[in-house]
Amino acid sequence: MMSVSVCRVAHFNAAHRLYNKAWDFEKNQAVFGKCNNPNYHGHNYKLEVWVTGNIDPETGYVIDLGLLKSMIETEVENRFDHKNLNEDTIEFKDLNPTAENIAMVIWNRLNAKLKDDLSLRVRLYETERNIVEYAGH
């Protein structure tokens, strides 16, 4: 059978601060610069969720994008939209919310909900110029 990838795009707006709790302020400032602002800054995150699998001959779908949209709402938007990632979420209580780590957390949450015969890749735009991508390996 033929393998096709499908993508659903979503957005969430969140505050965050980049820092390593094991370091003092000076070292955090040297490494993370203005991203280390103790009062936080924020972003409009754009998320692409790519799912790869076979086309179901009855529906013509790899996965119902309405179902994928709901899954993203439950696993990503409801948890992270209009939140402070450092303060309001369990995932980033002890994990630095860099775009890389956010993408990995999102991949892990979504992949746990996907059927085994589907593979997953997520792309996260922190800004129009800073992007990350993770496929689970």
Cα–Cα distance measured from residue 6 to residue 1, given in angstroms and rounded to the nearest whole number: 16
| 81 in contact with its own copies (CB under 8 A) | yes
| 118 in contact with its own copies (CB under 8 A) | no
| Class of residue 90 by CB neighbours under 10 A (exposed 0-12, middle 13-18, buried 19+) | exposed
Which is nearer to its own copies, 59 or 116 (by Cβ)? 59
Q: Which residue has the tokens 């991508």?
A: 133
Active-site annotation holder among 11, 41, 82, 87: 82
Cα–Cα distance measured from residue 20 to residue 27, given in angstroms and rounded to the nearest whole number: 9
Q: Which of 29, 73, 84, 118 binds its own copies (CB under 8 A)?
A: 84
Question: Among positive and negative, which fits the CA dihedral 111, 69, 6, 53?
Answer: positive
| 74 in contact with its own copies (CB under 8 A) | no
Where do contacts with its own copies occur on this chain (CB under 8 A)?
Answer: 2-11, 13-16, 18, 20, 22, 31-35, 37, 39-44, 48, 50, 55, 58-62, 64-66, 81-84, 87-88, 95-101, 103-104, 127-134, 136-137
